[in-house]
Amino acid sequence: MALLPILEFPDPRLRTVAKPVTEVDDKIRQLVADMFDTMYDAPGIGLAASQVNVHKRVVVIDVSEDKSQPLVFINPEIEVLDPEVSEYDEGCLSVPGFYETVVRPNHIRVKALDRDGNPFEMEPQGLLAVCIQHELDHLNGKLFVDHISPLKRTRIRAKMDKKHKAEAR
């Protein structure tokens, strides 16, 4: 078990676009295990490899109350199945302590590889669909704060900068 340091906004490394995984090997499986440990410890319901400064297209998610439904998405691709959108209050382990309303499609199809490199598809709705989209944004160098007003984003950045300066003392 290894807990990985989580990058925090406005760290520029969070803007790095992740590269596809070319082979699902023991190194990737260890990354997945460490990401689950880190996510559960934080605590969170989703974590992208980009958030732990590994710029590969790997996401772990568990939206269950009891941490019993761990999901792994390697090289995920999504397709919107229903244009209807929903508003969710989103938070992020890379922007701790902040929650803002984000509008996203409510029903998607995701294609990915599992932790053993086997391809799979699913058609999640609701919270799981939103969480997958949120984590996929990370892989593309985006954060949930990019979906809110510039004024709110600037305020959050200022508070995060102040927090980081205080921690550096």
Cα separation, 31 vs 25, in Å, equals 10
Annotated binding site for Fe cation: 92, 134, 138
Closest CA to 104 of 124, 122, 129: 129
Active site residues: 135
Annotated binding site: 92, 134, 138
Q: Who contacts 97 (Cβ-Cβ below 8 Å, separation ≥6)?
A: none
Instruction: Give the side-chain half-sphere CA count within 13 A for 80.
Output: 10
Question: Which SS3 state, helix, strand or coil, does residue 89 take?
Answer: strand
Residues, the chain, total?
169
Cα separation, 44 vs 39, in Å, equals 5
